[in-house]
């Protein structure tokens, strides 16, 4: 490319609360339009807001986890603008004294060799109330649904640290994973509980100078795929536009463009407002919030292990590869917890990782289960893995046993006893089976002695005969040992 892409994200996250930010109305998704409203969220005269303490604590928990600087004193502000889905004509938000500033989000793209830029710096994390929603009908009319008006909304603003559409997508995916680990939001983009606006411009070197194109904010990004596609399109569009008109960031206002998923293009919407256009002033109906050190300390204790920390622990404590650790962590906290318990109970960390990834997750996805409802718990899986490690079962038998455990809900011991799965490891029994296989196949021994067939081919054939004779239940390692000793004896005679 003849330019550098510069991207910053503005992420809006609906917090998981039972009531709205400043009223007692519910927050359930999917109800009929305008059935989840109240006088406060409708902006009726004479109503007064009351802050939702749980929402503030969830926001505080997020900021602490993202290593932001927490303000001991924060206030609310009115952000004034008119829009059909904003019944009060203002939004209660935070302007000059947000409850947190700074912070960092780990970007796993760099860990995976994807050319990422390491940690993504944050400008701020602040709290506000959500607006309603416009539903555009096919005939050109628009309807207003105010069910989500007033839902607690966390805004997370990054520095322009991202340098590619793929990097931005990875950053957003990591943020969603982190928020889910924290339990502050379900982050369902298709339901609007996680929404993203992306700011992008280009730095173009030419004749020893650097030219920056005007910044564009892209709206309507409702999936990770849309984020990546929209940014890739917009980068190309801005470069072509600059080649045509040469306009730079100092010569044009910031523009807002919408993403059209069907056409795969961005479309102009409006010139972006500045802070002065919103005419911020302190919210007169809400008192400031004072956050003391004891409150912050309690929040820190509730954060728990975050995705990046868990990846590193899986690598250092369990010896997993970066790839395996990442796969397990990205499946979500419940799956990572499941593996964690199974690994600790068996001590066979790589083996536990393989069984969870290859067998447990396959069934979970095929049957559309949650890991919490998977019939075989982590302790039961660890018991099965331990039996395989001790030689009671081979891997194929183990998979058959696991399938029956899943279907029946029974323990490995019960399935093994009922199905006669226990592996033959008695040396005398295996020795008798080896001698019988050799006696029944004299030509194989003649070919071995005469050099007509390679030793490995003969060994493999005889091993197969032994396994067939024992119904596949003989311990393969012990079969190999006994067979090797017997063939060496024959060749030496």
> Given this model, what pLDDT does residue 201 score?
97
> Given this model, what pLDDT does residue 115 score?
46
Domain end: 270, 293, 316, which one?
293
Count of structural domains within the chain: 3
- 335 located within any domain: yes
- 232 located within any domain: no
Domain co-membership, 128 together with 17: yes
- 462 located within any domain: yes
- 248 located within any domain: no
Number of residues that make up the chain? 493
* Number of helical (H) and strand (E) elements in the chain, helices listed first: 17, 18
- 392 located within any domain: yes
Domain co-membership, 327 together with 469: no
Q: What is the pTM of this model?
A: 0.84
Domain co-membership, 350 together with 273: no
Alpha carbon distance, N-terminus to C-terminus of the chain: 73
> Given this model, what pLDDT does residue 451 score?
77
- Give the containing element (helix H, strand E) for 80: strand 77-80
Domain co-membership, 360 together with 483: no
How does residue 466 score in pLDDT terms, banded at 50, 70 and 90?
Answer: confident
Domain co-membership, 128 together with 57: yes
In this prediction, residues 26-35 reach a mean pLDDT of: 95
**Percent of the chain's residues with pLDDT above 70:** 96
For residues 122 and 80, the answer to whether their CB atoms sit within 8 Å is no
User: Considering only 8-22, 88-102, 306-320, 454-468, which range has the smallest mean pLDDT?
Assistant: 454-468
In this prediction, residues 91-98 reach a mean pLDDT of: 96
- 67 located within any domain: yes
Range of the domain at 166: 11-197+262-293
In this prediction, residues 432-441 reach a mean pLDDT of: 86
Domain co-membership, 42 together with 79: yes
- 337 located within any domain: yes
User: Considering only 4-13, 412-421, 451-460, which range has the smallest mean pLDDT?
Assistant: 451-460
Query: Which candidate, 302, 176, 171, places its Cα nearest to that of 228?
Result: 171
């Amino acid at each position: 490319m003849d330019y550098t892409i510069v991207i910053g994200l503005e992420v809006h996250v609906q917090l998981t609360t039972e009531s709205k930010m400043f009223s007692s109305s519910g927050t359930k998704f999917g109800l009929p339009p305008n059935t989840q409203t109240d006088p406060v969220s409708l902006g009726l005269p004479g109503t007064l807001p009351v802050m939702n303490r749980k929402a503030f604590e969830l926001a505080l928990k997020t900021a602490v986890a993202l290593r932001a600087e927490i303000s001991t004193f924060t206030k609310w502000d009115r952000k004034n603008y008119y829009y059909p889905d904003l019944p009060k004509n203002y939004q209660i938000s935070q302007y000059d004294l947000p409850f947190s500033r700074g912070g960092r989000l780990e970007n796993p793209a760099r860990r995976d060799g994807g050319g990422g830029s390491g940690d993504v710096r944050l400008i701020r994390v602040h709290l506000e109330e959500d607006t309603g929603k416009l539903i555009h009908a096919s005939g050109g009319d628009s309807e207003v649904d105010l069910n989500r008006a007033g839902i607690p909304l966390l805004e997370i603003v990054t520095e322009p640290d991202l340098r590619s559409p793929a990097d931005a997508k990875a950053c957003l995916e990591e943020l969603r994973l982190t928020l889910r680990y924290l339990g502050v939001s379900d982050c369902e983009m298709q339901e609007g509980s996680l929404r993203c606006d992306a700011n992008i411009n280009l730095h173009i070197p030419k004749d020893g100078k650097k030219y920056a194109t005007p910044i564009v904010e892209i709206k309507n990004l409702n999936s990770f795929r849309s984020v990546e596609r929209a940014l890739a399109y917009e980068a190309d569009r801005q470069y072509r536009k600059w080649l045509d008109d040469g306009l730079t960031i100092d010569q044009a206002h910031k523009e807002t463009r919408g993403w059209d998923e069907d056409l795969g293009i961005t479309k102009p919407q409006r010139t972006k407002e500045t802070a002065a256009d919103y005419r911020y002033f302190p919210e007169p109906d809400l008192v400031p919030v004072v956050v003391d050190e004891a409150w912050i300390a309690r929040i820190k204790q509730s954060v728990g292990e975050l995705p990046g920390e868990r990846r590193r622990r899986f690598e250092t404590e369990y010896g997993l590869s970066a790839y395996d650790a990442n796969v397990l962590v990205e499946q979500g906290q419940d799956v990572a917890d499941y593996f964690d318990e199974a690994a600790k109970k068996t001590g066979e960390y790589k083996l536990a990782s393989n069984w969870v990834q290859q067998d447990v997750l396959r069934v979970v996805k095929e049957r559309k289960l949650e890991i919490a409802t998977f019939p075989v718990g982590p302790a039961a899986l660890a018991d099965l893995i331990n039996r395989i490690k001790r030689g009671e079962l081979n891997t194929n038998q183990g998979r058959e046993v696991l399938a029956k455990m899943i279907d029946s809900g029974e323990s490995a011991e019960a399935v093994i006893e009922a199905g006669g799965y226990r592996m033959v490891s008695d040396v005398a029994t295996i020795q008798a089976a080896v001698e019988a296989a050799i006696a029944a196949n004299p030509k194989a021994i003649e070919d071995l002695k005469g050099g007509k067939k390679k030793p490995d081919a003969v060994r493999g054939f005889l091993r197969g005969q032994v396994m067939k004779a024992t119904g596949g239940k003989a311990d393969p390692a012990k079969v190999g040992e006994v067979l090797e000793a017997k063939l060496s004896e024959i060749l030496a005679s």
